[in-house]
Structure 1
């Protein structure tokens, strides 16, 4: 971790960041196992919300937030990341804080409305995890295409897989960000979500069986809860899900993020520790519910920027020729402007905005999920001889 970058923060923000970094380090020490030189692999997945193009106007991320995200990632040997945006400068900024011992591999952006111009990828410690030279985005063969009733489709956001080795464990690590669409289980969008999970799991399971290789499938599956069709779709392909008891969304009511395995017998083993998996409840330490006073100026600056952007958009639409589209757009903009002004002026509304929106665009609306795996199979090999 390149902590010297703290020197470039103004004194008040530097003191704030140092205090929170110390608290975060203590929290991570308590929650995560110590990284070992070769015996175990600390593996994670994290949807880092909209990292980091600020297209929703609830940012951008503060300088100190990059330090917090880097501190979390530095505790993993390898971590899958989702919602990385087209502009890679924020990613380069994050990697410069992590230091030269970390590397990353990302996809190109997924084009189209449902793709959101997102990338998927992996960040890994180069002394602990070695990239084996194989990487690819998953493209379904014609007979496995996903149906949304009217069309045959590829994934909304293309899954990504890379070959790695850590210790004795050689594995293909695949990550996804599954289509969400709608919460209604009767909707076509929900069925598409199920079919996406089903398709990627079946595709990888078939390949894993043919290659006799361990596959680890992680990411944001948008699984509401265990036992529904979204979770069943993963298990029916014979993937073993790490069943965390805690949800991975901000309020920990949903089980969106998952880590699962299709492994050769005895090859994926949880580390023999007191706790080998979990969810990092980062809001217990960072951007807490009671911290609005510390960030109120930053929240106000965000709201001021939102208002300025909406004012500019309103003026641009007012300059267009009259039409039904123009009338409707101006009406919606006026409503948004009034609501945002009210949030900025009202302490209670501003606090709700801080809790439910602003801080999730600093850290994320997802929490990191982790497992610790045993990667030292020396005893097994000697026994086999």
Structure 2
């Protein structure tokens, strides 16, 4: 059974956080809620599902209190690893009070009778700040595209698995390939065919003194498999959204907001990833004459979002043609424009647990086993935007 803090240790952690927040309202990167701005948050809460099973609570009472405390700071929270059972989510809504509501997807990532990497995608939102729009949908490829992708994948598999006809083992390997390929369950192709877990898009509207933001929020948890699989799913998602942006961003003036665990580790550094994304987007925009501008701010900050603080897996990013949202060149201005203006960050609960004491090993390093299963192995990230107003900062240069 996974370890966790005792309730006494959780109380010690909570007291330490209270004291830190009294000195700094955003200690450890926990965002402060303010009247003039909204907090958009994304968090992979590890195996967030039932409240309890026959072995007892799935998450300790202290972990549940910490989840409630973090979620209370968000106006819109995208949750990944929401399990099929939603008891913990429903309990969270009740604990947060009557102004909160939720919308979540059906289970994705599995087929009837087969095991898979299944989960739901959930959006928790404050109805006094965020209004649910008209659209909610999975993102997927149509049958024609899937067939084309499958054909490409089969050809690539054939080319790498079957030798030329002049090879003495040709017929045997050809038969082995045919037999293995027709048993599609569990097959691993070298080409992208379809998302393992279909991302979930929901429309939200955030109003303010002057105008509103109209978001198409996309909640995603991309594949965590091989390096090339991660890369293929990420760029497939980005291309899908860029292709849709001609109508969504260009004609309807919506903002596409990506919120999720994108499992991006296909390059050695965030700087390399950013350059790769910029080059990819520039190429597509030039080819298809798209106007959407893409910004992945967490590739510019020093944020390692997994609990072991080695990778920037989690992202809040946007595709927009709206001067109220910064472009990549403006990310350095985060936190400098005023309390309610653009900012972004991460609640570093690993640092909190280590400095509070219970989460620290004798050598001073974090004791991941005490919290990675009970709370999460990902840290929550957030973006602050001003509520729409005529005097808010415009990012025009």
- The answer to whether TM tops 0.5 is yes
Q: Which of 221, 225, 233 is matched with 1:193 structurally?
A: 233
Q: Which of 138, 153, 169 is matched with 1:149 structurally?
A: 153
Counterpart residue number, 1:261? 318
**Equivalent position SS for 2:204:** strand
**Can you list the C-alpha shifts for 1:220-259, whole angstroms capped at 9, x where unaligned?**
1111242456973477344211132221011222111111
Q: Which of 257, 264, 276 is matched with 1:216 structurally?
A: 257
Q: Which of 46, 49, 62 is matched with 1:49 structurally?
A: 46
Stretch of structure 1 that moved more, 192-201 or 239-248? 192-201
CA 1:108–1:172 in 2, change beyond 3 Å: closer, same or farther? same
**Offset of residue 355 of structure 1:** 2.8
**Can you list the C-alpha shifts for 1:344-367, whole angstroms capped at 9, x where unaligned?**
xxx99xx99x93444111121111
Q: In 1, are the aligned partners of 2:257 and 2:316 still within 8 Å (CA)? A: yes
Q: Which of 233, 236, 239 is matched with 2:294 structurally?
A: 239
Q: In 1, are the aligned partners of 2:107 and 2:119 still within 8 Å (CA)? A: yes
Q: Which of 371, 374, 396 is matched with 1:362 structurally?
A: 374
CA RMSD of aligned residues (A): 3.6
**Can you list the C-alpha shifts for 1:133-188, whole angstroms capped at 9, x where unaligned?**
321111223565466823663211111111112222222211111112124xxx5x
Is 2:205 the partner of 1:165?
Answer: yes
**Equivalent position SS for 1:219:** strand
Q: Which of 78, 81, 84 is matched with 2:79 structurally?
A: 81
CA 1:85–1:369 in 2, change beyond 3 Å: closer, same or farther? same
**Offset of residue 105 of structure 1:** 1.0
**Offset of residue 261 of structure 1:** 1.2
Alignment: residue pair count: 308
In 2, the alpha carbon distance for the partners of 1:140 and 1:357 equals 39
Counterpart residue number, 1:340? none
Q: Which of 223, 232, 235 is matched with 1:179 structurally?
A: 223
Q: In 2, are the aligned partners of 1:223 and 1:230 still within 8 Å (CA)? A: no
Unaligned runs of 5+ in 2: 155-188, 282-292, 327-333, 393-397
Is 2:352 the partner of 1:285?
Answer: yes
Aligned runs of 1:343-358 on 2, under 5 Å? 355-358=367-370
CA 1:180–1:210 in 2, change beyond 3 Å: closer, same or farther? farther
**Equivalent position SS for 2:45:** strand
**Offset of residue 63 of structure 1:** 1.6
**Offset of residue 69 of structure 1:** 0.5
Q: In 1, are the aligned partners of 2:39 and 2:384 still within 8 Å (CA)? A: yes
**Equivalent position SS for 1:236:** helix
Q: In 2, are the aligned partners of 1:178 and 1:197 still within 8 Å (CA)? A: no
Q: In 2, are the aligned partners of 1:45 and 1:369 still within 8 Å (CA)? A: yes
In 2, the alpha carbon distance for the partners of 1:220 and 1:58 equals 28
In 2, the alpha carbon distance for the partners of 1:252 and 1:78 equals 24
**Can you list the C-alpha shifts for 1:316-342, whole angstroms capped at 9, x where unaligned?**
xxxxxxxxxxxxxxxxxxxxxxxxxxx
Counterpart residue number, 1:137? 138
Q: In 2, are the aligned partners of 1:144 and 1:199 still within 8 Å (CA)? A: no
**Equivalent position SS for 1:124:** strand
Counterpart residue number, 1:70? 68
In 1, the alpha carbon distance for the partners of 2:279 and 2:369 equals 33
CA 1:161–1:194 in 2, change beyond 3 Å: closer, same or farther? closer
**Equivalent position SS for 1:378:** coil
Q: In 2, are the aligned partners of 1:201 and 1:234 still within 8 Å (CA)? A: no
Q: In 2, are the aligned partners of 1:52 and 1:61 still within 8 Å (CA)? A: no
Is 2:24 the partner of 1:24?
Answer: no
In 1, the alpha carbon distance for the partners of 2:250 and 2:115 equals 31
**Offset of residue 78 of structure 1:** 1.0
In 1, the alpha carbon distance for the partners of 2:382 and 2:279 equals 19
Q: Which of 93, 99, 102 is matched with 1:101 structurally?
A: 99
**Can you list the C-alpha shifts for 1:253-279, whole angstroms capped at 9, x where unaligned?**
211111111122313256733681111
